[in-house]
């Protein structure tokens, strides 16, 4: 080959030495330089080596290629050359042993592309080699889609065992596992369906999963787990909500089965979509659970809460049991929704203010607990020693609260009603209702404070004898079936009481006081104390009002009765045919005992006045006043004895008519308007 050259002249910029010749000035011709010999390289290098890298899982596939190190590489994909950046993204390049290795990146190719590699070399003289071209076999670096188990059948013929079926990438190889144990393989058909028969029975819980491997050797991620239980009560443990929701199926089969979370979790109803025959959910730590249609379809009926504040929302219309035994004192269970809830073993607090379903609660705390009710009926039972519950009934509205057990119960913000007939512990109620309310007391002491604009009806039938009902506030209070004592000294509203057949005491309120004592039997006593007026009707037993300073109006109907007056005026009406004894020792000297009776009446220790003008029965009076007294007789036979020093009685006998008046004692007596047919004086002046 003839070499070709090009000439280049570079001007001299600086004269470094002077030159003189024999030719004279202006004629400078040098002697020839020494000869320079060189070789010019114009030969192209040999074409680079290009070889495929076979897929070790399947020789029908390649995984990349190798070229002579330093070669320039071009890869055409379906006839289109990859850019330099695309080549770098789709292949991982490595250099070793004089070769550059290009390995297809994961997920770069699906095995359907036509890949052609072209490589050239350029030597140091810039000579370019002829290209080497290689068509690669298919490259598949895309893993199969996640396979799935879609059916597990327990086969009882030909030996009991589980048979599995599912879906995967067409023609992929399935490897079946139970937990970490490999059970075998199956091949998906051209539609992706596969089946596998295990040799395992249902004596233990199984955790079935599968992986799929395509012909190029790419392995899928593991399928969602398919849990199959035993005929007995099973417990399926999950470490997190993510692990729980990843399961394809959790089938408890027969028995009462539990899914147990081993750490705190927040669960939604979507987490229960793959539950089948799971009856119990166990929680650990402070957790939150929302139940809906999926939980209802599964039949989930019980939640065991863990320690820590826990929230349960249930929008279903069925029922749910919540076991709160692990909830510590001071921790709160919050429930919302519309389902009917039974909460057992509550040692902490309960907030049901946002709940609209019925609630049944058993409290077991050994220290004071708090319960905020929902808007529907609620029942609270507490018999734990040292415990006690404070119930905030704000959300209850006009609903009903039922209390039972032996612990002390305090109810605040009550606008509805309380049934506590099975409660033996003390009951303290603050009522705020604007409409009529009711409380059926238990057998323990009861205190009711009511400043609402409504009224309160108290059924005291269950309250034990010698127990006390304390009433206060401004609302009107009606107490029925009283078998206990009443203290209403802090009550400014009207008080109306109906007694039962047992002796009782009533400290009257500051408003009007009406007591129906018709059920009191002979020998039983109503004891009254207080400072305001009171009316006692249908008194069947005795009345003791020694400690009462308010005016009294009494109607008696017993056979043989005793009335002990207070210090204020008292009017007694007795239409029975029995006898009445009135002990007027406490009656103030300036106050009057008024009698309107048809039976015989005996008045003892009279220091004040007596007005018996409306009395028709026999009247016997012992006067003991140390100052003058006035007695107006009735129409019946009258006997007055007065021996008190400094005393003396003025008798108005107008109503006596032609009856007999008998006077005795040492005091001076004065009789006016006397028409009696017989007037007897045993002693002293008349």
Burial profile 591-629: b = 16 or more Cβ within 10 angstroms, e = fewer: bbbbbbbbbbbbbbbbbbbbbbbbbbbbbbbbbbbeeeb
Question: Strands, E, within 454-533: which ranges?
Answer: 455-459, 468-473, 476-482, 485-491, 495-499, 504-507, 513-516, 525-529
Rounded mean pLDDT of 568-585?
Answer: 91
Question: Does residue 25 have a pLDDT over 70?
Answer: no
Q: Quickly state the pLDDT bin for 280 (edges 50, 70, 90).
A: very high
Question: Does residue 4 have a pLDDT over 70?
Answer: no
CATH topology for the 148-226 domain:
Immunoglobulin-like (2.60.40)
pLDDT digits (tens, 9 = 90+) for 120-177: 999 999 999 999 999 999 998 889 999 999 999 999 887 889 999 999 999 999 999 9
Domain residues of the chain, as ranges?
Answer: 50-135, 148-226, 415-516, 534-686
Give the Cα separation of 619 and 601 in Å (integer). 5
Q: Which residue has the higher pLDDT, 684 or 630?
A: 630
- Using left for φ > 0, alpha for ψ between -120 and 50, and beta otherwise, residue 372 falls in beta
Backbone angles phi, psi at 105, to 5 degrees: -70, 150
Question: Does residue 684 have a pLDDT over 70?
Answer: no
Q: Residue 269: which of 295, 248, 307, 233 has the closest Cα?
A: 295
Give the Cα separation of 676 and 551 in Å (integer). 33
Burial-class residue 589 by CB neighbours within 10 Å (0-12, 13-18, 19+). Answer: middle
Q: Residue 628: which of 646, 610, 643, 613 has the closest Cα?
A: 646
Residue the block writes with tokens 């065991």: 304
Give the Cα separation of 614 and 517 in Å (integer). 23
* CA distance to 64, 68, 364, 500, 686, per residue, from 41 (Å): 34, 21, 101, 132, 173
At 673 the pLDDT is 74
Rounded mean pLDDT of 5-24?
Answer: 44
Structure tokens at 184: 């075998």
pLDDT digits (tens, 9 = 90+) for 323-357: 999 999 999 999 999 999 999 999 999 999 999 99
Burial-class residue 385 by CB neighbours within 10 Å (0-12, 13-18, 19+). Answer: exposed
Question: Does residue 3 have a pLDDT over 50?
Answer: no
The percent of residues in the chain predicted with pLDDT above 70, rounded, is: 94
The percent of residues in the chain predicted with pLDDT above 90, rounded, is: 82
At 648 the pLDDT is 86
Q: Which residues contact 16 (CB under 8 A, 6 or more apart)?
A: none
Q: Quickly state the pLDDT bin for 666 (edges 50, 70, 90).
A: confident
pLDDT digits (tens, 9 = 90+) for 606-628: 999 999 999 999 999 999 999 99
Give the Cα separation of 210 and 202 in Å (integer). 19
pLDDT digits (tens, 9 = 90+) for 370-403: 999 999 999 999 999 888 999 999 999 999 999 9
pLDDT, mean over the chain: 91
Question: Does residue 27 have a pLDDT over 60?
Answer: no
At 643 the pLDDT is 86
At 675 the pLDDT is 62
Which CATH number, 2.60.40, 1.20.950, 3.30.160, 1.10.20, labels domain 50-135? 2.60.40
Domains 50-135 and 148-226 are alike in CATH topology: yes
Residue the block writes with tokens 């802090």: 490
pLDDT digits (tens, 9 = 90+) for 405-459: 999 999 999 999 999 999 999 999 999 999 999 999 999 999 999 999 999 999 9
Name the DSSP letter for residue 219.
B
Question: Does residue 20 have a pLDDT over 90?
Answer: no
Rounded mean pLDDT of 475-502?
Answer: 95
Rounded mean pLDDT of 575-586?
Answer: 89
Q: Quickly state the pLDDT bin for 647 (edges 50, 70, 90).
A: confident
Asked if 503 and 517 touch (Cβ cutoff 8 Å), the reply is no
Q: Residue 579: which of 610, 554, 601, 604 has the closest Cα?
A: 601
At 650 the pLDDT is 94
DSSP conformation letters of 549-609: -S-EEEEE--SEEEEE--SS-EEEEE-SSSEEEEE-TTS-TT-EEEEEESS-EEEEEE-SE
Residue the block writes with tokens 């009107």: 476
Torsional sign, CA 520, 525, 528, 534: positive
Q: Which residues contact 670 (CB under 8 A, 6 or more apart)?
A: 648, 649, 650, 651, 686
């Amino acid at each position: 080959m003839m070499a070709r050259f090009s000439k280049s002249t570079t001007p001299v910029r600086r004269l470094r030495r002077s030159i003189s010749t024999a030719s004279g000035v202006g004629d400078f011709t040098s002697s020839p330089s020494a000869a320079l010999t060189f070789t010019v390289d114009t030969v192209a290098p040999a074409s680079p080596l290009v070889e495929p890298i076979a897929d070790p899982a399947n020789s029908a596939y390649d995984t990349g290629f190798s070229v002579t190190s330093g070669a320039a590489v071009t890869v055409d994909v379906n006839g289109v050359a990859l850019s330099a950046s695309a080549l770098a993204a789709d292949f991982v390049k490595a250099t070793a042993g004089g070769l550059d290795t290009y390995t297809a990146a994961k997920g770069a190719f699906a095995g359907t592309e036509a890949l052609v590699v072209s490589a050239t070399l350029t030597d140091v003289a810039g000579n370019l080699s002829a290209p080497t071209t290689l068509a690669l076999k298919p490259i598949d670096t895309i893993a199969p889609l996640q396979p799935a188990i879609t059916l597990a059948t327990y086969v009882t013929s030909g030996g009991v065992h589980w048979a599995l079926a599912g879906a995967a990438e067409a023609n992929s190889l399935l490897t079946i596992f139970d937990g970490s144990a490999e059970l075998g393989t199956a091949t998906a058909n051209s539609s992706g369906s596969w089946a596998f028969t295990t040799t395992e029975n249902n004596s233990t819980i199984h955790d079935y999963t599968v992986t799929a491997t395509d012909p190029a050797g790419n392995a899928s991620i593991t399928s969602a787990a398919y849990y199959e239980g035993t005929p007995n009560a099973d417990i399926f443990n999950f470490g997190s909500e993510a692990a729980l929701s990843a399961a394809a199926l959790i089938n408890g089969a027969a028995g009462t089965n539990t899914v147990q979370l081993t750490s705190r979790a927040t669960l939604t109803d979507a987490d229960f979509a793959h539950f089948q025959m799971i009856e119990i959910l166990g929680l650990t730590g402070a957790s939150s659970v929302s139940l809906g249609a999926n939980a209802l379809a599964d039949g989930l009926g019980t939640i065991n809460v863990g320690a820590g504040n826990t929230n349960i929302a249930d929008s279903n219309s069925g029922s749910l049991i919540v076991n709160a035994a692990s909830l510590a004192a001071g921790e709160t269970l919050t429930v919302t929704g519309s389902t009917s809830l039974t909460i057992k073993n509550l040692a902490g607090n309960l907030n049901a203010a946002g709940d609209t379903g019925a609630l049944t609660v058993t409290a077991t705390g050994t220290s004071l607990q708090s319960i905020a009710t929902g808007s529907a009926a609620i029942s609270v039972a507490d018999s734990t020693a040292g415990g006690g519950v404070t119930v905030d009934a704000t959300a209850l509205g006009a609903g009903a609260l039922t209390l039972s057990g032996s612990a002390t119960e305090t109810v605040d913000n009550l606008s509805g009603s309380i049934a506590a007939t099975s409660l033996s512990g003390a009951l303290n109620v603050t009522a705020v209702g604007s409409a009529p309310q009711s409380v059926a007391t238990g057998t323990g002491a009861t205190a009711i404070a009511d400043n609402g604009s409504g009224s309160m009806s108290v059924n005291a039938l269950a309250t034990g004898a010698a127990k006390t009902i304390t009433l206060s506030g401004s609302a009107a209070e009606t107490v029925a079936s009283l078998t206990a004592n009443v203290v209403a000294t802090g009550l400014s509203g009207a008080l109306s009481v109906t007694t039962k057949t047992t002796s009782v005491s009533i400290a009257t309120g500051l408003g009007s006081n009406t007591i129906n004592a018709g059920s009191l039997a002979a020998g039983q006593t109503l004891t009254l104390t207080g400072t305001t007026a009171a009316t006692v009707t249908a008194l069947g037993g005795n009345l003791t009002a020694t400690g009462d300073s308010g005016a009294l109006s009494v109607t008696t109907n017993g056979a043989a009765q005793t009335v002990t007056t207070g210090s204020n005026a008292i009017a007694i009406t007795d239409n029975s045919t029995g006898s009445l004894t009135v002990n007027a020792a406490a009656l103030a000297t300036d106050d009057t005992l008024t009698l309107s009776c048809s039976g015989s009446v005996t008045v003892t220790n009279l220091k004040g006045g007596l007005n018996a003008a409306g009395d028709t029965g026999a009247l016997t009076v012992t006067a003991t006043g140390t100052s003058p007294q006035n007695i107006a007789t009735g129409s019946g036979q009258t006997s007055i004895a007065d021996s008190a020093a400094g005393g003396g009685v003025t008798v108005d006998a107008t109503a006596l008519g032609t009856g007999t008046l008998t006077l005795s004692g040492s005091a001076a007596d004065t009789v006016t308007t006397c028409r009696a047919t017989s007037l007897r004086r045993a002693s002293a002046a008349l």
